[in-house]
Homo-oligomer: A and B are copies of this chain.
Amino acid sequence: MSVAEETPGGEDMPWGEVTPEAARRLLVAAVEAFAERGYHATTTRDIAGRAGMSPAALYIHYKTKEELLHRISRIGHDKALEILRAAAAGDGTAAERLADAVRSFVRWHAERHTTARVVQYELDALGPEHRAEIVELRRESDAAVRGIIDEGVAAGEFDVPDVPGTTVAVLSLCIDVSRWFNVQGRRTPDEVGALYADLVLRMVGAQKK
């Protein structure tokens, strides 16, 4: 969709759609600060300082501190939903698509765990209208995963007594990766993704290949 998100080389560049550059620097600084200390414990002076600017510079690019959080949250949720929908729309059996969805969703939560932490755990700091907008995106993520599971059940691939409950559990499991994942830890994002894909296939009762 977005042109700015990819460099000519092809590798994806996070926050590439945020312009001008000073606005992006402020946003990246805010992501780090929010992830480390939480939204409410982060000061506008801290964000500006990390971006190498004065506190007032923030207000040229963003109306309020809350708008900064909203931009982060919106972009992050868009990306998460895109990942899930891409996996759901792929070809292959329901088991393959579910494994693919979990693997890439978990990898994103591990690789970009600072961003994910803000996106997943600072929802309550948004104002009412902004929160409503984000909640709708989350509903759609839930629907994407539920769709794959539904199809797996219909095709006789899965054995799932409680589809909505299992959907919540699968998403919950993936999301919580951003809370405990540590870059210094033993596992790479790829390894966690593979482990979790296997665990989720067991949860839905997919027969092993």
**A interface residues with partner B (beta carbon < 8 Å):** 37-38, 40-41, 121, 124-125, 161-162, 165-166, 168-169, 172-173, 175-177, 179-180, 187, 192, 195-196, 198-199, 202-203, 205
Contact = CB atoms under 8 A, between A and B. Distances in A.
B168 A180 contact: yes
5 contacts: A41-B125, A165-B187, A169-B196, A172-B177, A202-B202
Contacts of A205: 202
A39 to B, nearest CB: 8
Given A161-B198, A173-B176, 16 more contacts: A38-B38, A40-B40, A40-B41, A41-B125, A121-B179, A166-B195, A166-B199, A168-B180, A169-B196, A172-B177, A172-B179, A175-B176, A176-B179, A202-B202, A202-B203, A203-B203
A121 B124 contact: no
A135 to B, nearest CB: 12
A131 to B, nearest CB: 13
Contact of A195 (B162, B173, B175, B179): B162
A162 to B, nearest CB: 6
A205 B125 CA distance: 40
Contacts of A172: 173, 176-177, 179-180
B40 A38 contact: yes
B166 A124 contact: no
8 tightest CB-CB pairs across the interface, nearest first? A40-B40, A40-B41, A176-B176, A172-B176, A165-B195, A202-B202, A199-B203, A173-B173
Contacts of A177: 172
Contacts of A198: 161
Contacts of A176: 172-173, 175-176, 179
A142 to B, nearest CB: 10
A172 B121 CA distance: 15
A181 B125 CA distance: 18
A125 B121 CA distance: 14
A109 to B, nearest CB: 11
